[in-house]
A and B are shown apart, each in its own frame.
Chain A
Amino acid sequence: MEGFDAFIVVFGSGLRLAVPLILACLAGLWSERSGIVDIGLEGKMLVGAFAGAAIATFTGDPWTGLLAGVAASVLVSLIHGYASIDQRANQIVSGTAINMVADGLTALIGNAVWSQGGRTPQLPDSALFHAIDLPFAQSFGGVPILGPIYRHLISGHDIVTYFAFALVPLTYWALYSTRFGLRLRAVGENPAAVDTAGISVRALRYSAVVICGVLVGLSGVYLSLAQAAYFQPHMSAGKGFIALAALVFAKWRPWPALATCLLFGFLDALSIRLQGMVLPGIGPVPVQAIEALPYLLTVVLLAGFIGKATPPRASGIPYVKER
């Protein structure tokens, strides 16, 4: 039973670590499926986390924090959209700029306002998102095997987590079963054809960029108002790039994106769990190897050694209307 309990603990923590990845990965999916490459997820996550914590500090309420985080992230997304869509910029350069500005600006403002090296004050419990106990979690928890799974893995998460998981089928449905989704995917593959059909490439891409901003802003809010109770400079710690890796690994599809994010979250939880442990015959576990695994797996996949990851055909290419 002890092994099972340990499994539940590691899996539960992996699940929580996967939440910001799922949100950011779906954000990237929306953007890239429309043809806008977004390596600025990391920066927008930071902006969302900062704005969320900063506003929640003043209002004492997580929902206004959430709104602020999402709004700030959408604003940054629109800058990327303006550069990519209207200015036909190199989208990699634009994303890089956003990551730098976000990294510096959140730390700078945080430090200027609260003088704690960029950290925002510890938020009271009332300003955070809390775990929700699903019905019967306590009474059903005693049942062997299924009880702990229900009580610790399915029940007991906050609202953002449930929303993140609900977003996967929602994204799948919207992308594959609605007219908007069809057009959005088309604009990422062949914008000229969409344009010929009399549909605005620009409007579609802007809406994708906004959706991306909302989702990745949520992932930032999750970091500062659910996982932690404050904002700290650089607190996204590469999660935006892991989400990007997961997106490539999932070949730009929603359900595989969920699976990949769960895998990467689980690896993260495992490396935390194994930190400092000594394996017989091997010595201390090189946790760095587990940490590097998501990145290595993605490179191997990109290189076509296990399957082939093909991005949307028009991604990264500005659309120029023919005259």
Chain B
Amino acid sequence: MSAPLKPLPAWADVALIPLVNVAAAFFISGLVVLAIGENPLEAVKLLIVGALGDLEGIGFTLYYATSFIFTGLAVAICFHAGLFNIGVEGQAYVAGLGAALVSLYLGAFLPGYSLAIVAILAGALFGAAFAAIPGYLQAKRDAHIVITTIMFNYVASALMGYLLVDVLRTPGQMNAETPGFPHYGDVPQFHELLKPLGIHWPVTPFNLTFLLALACAFGVWALIWRTRLGYAIRAVGANPTAAIYGGISPARVVIVTTLLSGALAGGMAANVILGEEHRLILEYTAGFGFVGIAVALMGRAHPAGIVLAAILFGVLYQGGAELAFDKPKISRDMIVVIQGLVVLFAGALEHMFRRPVAALLARRTTQPPI
């Protein structure tokens, strides 16, 4: 091959290259829209108006973004330990079971807001437990976590399908879903909270879980860069062999990281199951666990980047729904295409533009002053 890459200036590394990558993903997406006979610029306009044009759109956008922050953080924390957790989808799904079981059966014992709090914790616990199995098998039995988490997504789907169709379903109901939860256990939605203050916000599923998501993002940042455990996680991610010499047990770090990842995935249950649906429904995760992969890659596994990427994907999901309504040819599958292209360019091909960008910068900086 050719000469080794010159190090880029820090600003190019942190901001320019990721922006170029994401821009490439959106450029190709624009070509796809063009190819199916629609105008990409008009599509972008409709999408942004649909997502951010009014308070209702913004509410839905932030509601989706809340889920994406959780699934993005879940994927990212594993990235730091050098693990690829493709099982966030299944972990969030099983987390819904934990939240639902508490809401359905412990409602009588837990007064007021304590029900929602215990349900959120149960969701996190179930998510963590479901992630712990692949984590343990990776740490102790050397079973590759990519394969085991893929398999566990299907195991989760079969398990939850069985429970929702044959065990938890409301008798006489056609839909595979649990009965509704007691309403005092709902995570409050913002339009309810703002009403007493005299602020009118249209009815949207945007709920308090958003603040929990932001808190978790801050927590992950503090954990990864400000604690001993975070240092151990990054050390194992960078070089497990060297970490052993530093007195770190990679097996222990892998298990703890997957537990945390599963618990973060469980945050999605708080947002969707406790904040909006108030019952557990079949396949409620709807692929949001996979969106987390795109969010984590786009946000460069940094919580601040993840929050921004999650909001962008919130815009895409909400705006995409409105867009599909106006332009039936651009169905919601377009969003999955964009998501895939973001993973391709920001993840798999992240170094593709490095050389051209480096060449461009080098030419600019070496130009003689006139």
**Interface positions of A from 81 to 125, Cβ below 8 Å from B:** 83, 87-90, 92-94, 96-105, 107-109, 111-113, 115, 118
**Taking the complex as formed, is B351 at the interface, i.e. its CB lies under 8 A from any CB of chain A?**
yes
Is B161 in the interface zone, CB < 8 Å from A? Answer: yes
Q: Contacts A104-B335, A111-B329 known; A94 to B344 CB distance under 8 Å?
A: yes
Contact A108 to B151, CB < 8 A, known contacts A99-B340, A100-B340: no
Report Cα–Cα, A88/B351, bound state, in Å. Answer: 9
Contact B141 A298 (CB under 8 A): no
Smallest CB gap from B3: residue in A:
A323
Stretch at the interface among B55-63, B142-150, B228-236: B142-150
Q: Roughly how many angstroms separate A109 CA and B333 CA in the complex, as a whole number? A: 9
Shortest C-beta distance, A272 to chain B (Å), equals 14
Nearest A residue to B149 via CB reads A299
A104 with B336: CB separation less than 8 A: yes
**Interface residues of B, dominant DSSP:** helix
A75 interface residue per 8 A CB criterion: no
B154 within 8 A of A: yes
Q: Does residue B339 face the partner (Cβ distance < 8 Å to A)? A: yes
Whole-angstrom CA separation of A73 from B56 in the bound complex: 42
Least distance between A16 CB and chain B CB atoms (Å): 21
Q: What is the CA–CA distance of A10 and B306 in the complex, to the nearest angstrom?
A: 49
A278–chain B nearest beta-carbon distance, Å: 12
B307 at interface by CB-CB < 8 Å: no
What chain B residues lie within 8 Å of A169 (beta carbons)? none
Contacts of A284 in B (CB 8 A): 166
Asked if A182 CB lies within 8 Å of chain B CBs, one says no
CB distance from A247 to the nearest CB of B (A): 10
Of the residues A99, A105, A298, contact of B151 by C-beta under 8 Å: A298
Q: Is the Cβ of A112 less than 8 Å from the Cβ of B340?
A: no
- Check B348 against A87 for contact (C-beta < 8 Å): yes
Contact B137 A100, beta carbon cutoff 8 Å:
no
Are A107 and B331 touching (Cβ within 8 A)? Answer: yes
Residue among A244, A245, A295, A296 having the largest count of chain B Cβ atoms under 10 Å: A295
Indicate whether B214 reaches chain A with its CB closer than 8 angstroms: no
The verdict on B212 contacting chain A, using a C-beta distance below 8 Å, is: no
A292 and B154 contacting across the interface, CB-CB below 8 Å? yes
Chain B residues lying within 8 Å of A118, measured Cβ to Cβ, are 331, 333
Q: Is A69 an interface residue (CB 8 A)?
A: no
Q: Which residues of B contact A321 (CB under 8 A)?
A: 1
Q: How far is the CA of A213 from the CA of B54 in the complex (A)?
A: 46
The reply to whether B162 and A288 contact each other, CB–CB distance below 8 Å, is: yes
Within 8 A of A (CB), among B124-153: 134, 137, 141-144, 146-148, 150-152
Please measure, in the bound complex, the distance between the C-alpha atom of A118 and the C-alpha atom of B336, giving whole angstroms.
14
Chain B residue numbers with a CB within 8 Å of A112 are 36-37, 329-331
Among residues of B, the one whose C-beta sits closest to the C-beta of A110 is: B333
Tell me, in angstroms, the Cα distance from A295 to B328 when the chains sit together: 37
A291 within 8 A of B: yes
Q: Which residues of A contact B333 (CB under 8 A)?
A: 103-105, 107-108, 111, 118, 233
Q: B348 to A302, Cβ gap below 8 A? A: no
- Cβ of B348 and Cβ of A97 under 8 Å apart? yes
Counting CB contacts under 8 A, is A154 at the interface?
A: no
Whether A282 sits at the interface, judged by CB under 8 Å, is: no
B10-64 residues with Cβ-Cβ distance < 8 A to A are 32, 36-37
A72 contact set on B, CB distance < 8 A: none
CB distance from A261 to the nearest CB of B (A): 16
With A105-B32, A289-B162, A292-B155 as known contacts, state yes or no: A304 contacts B340, CB within 8 Å.
no
When the two chains form their complex, are residues A104 and B334 in contact, meaning their CB atoms are under 8 A apart?
Answer: yes
A111 touching B331 by the CB < 8 A rule?
yes
- Smallest Cβ distance from A282 to chain B, in angstroms? 12
Inter-subunit contact A288/B161 (CB<8 Å): yes
Whether a CB of chain B sits under 8 angstroms from the CB of A286 is yes
Min CB gap B119→A, angstroms: 25
> B294 → chain A, closest Cβ, in Å?
8
CB distance from A117 to the nearest CB of B (A): 8
Docked Cα-Cα span, A296 to B336, in Å, equals: 28
Nearest-Cβ distance from residue B109 to partner chain A, whole angstroms = 30
The interface residues of chain B lying within 8 Å CB-to-CB of A233 are 333
Apart from the given pairs A92-B86, A104-B334, 4 other A-B contacts in the complex at a CB distance below 8 Å: A87-B348, A97-B344, A108-B330, A299-B148
User: Measuring CB to CB, which residues of chain A are less than 8 angstroms from any residue of chain B?
Assistant: 39, 79, 83, 87-90, 92-94, 96-105, 107-109, 111-113, 115, 118, 233, 238, 241, 244-245, 248, 284, 286, 288-289, 291-292, 295-296, 298-299, 302-305, 311, 321
**When A and B form their complex, which 3 residue pairs have the shortest distance between CB atoms, in order from nearest?**
A100-B340, A104-B336, A101-B340
20 contacts between A and B (CB under 8 A): A79-B344, A83-B349, A88-B351, A89-B350, A92-B84, A93-B347, A94-B344, A100-B336, A101-B337, A104-B333, A104-B336, A118-B331, A233-B333, A244-B147, A286-B162, A295-B152, A296-B155, A299-B155, A303-B148, A305-B141
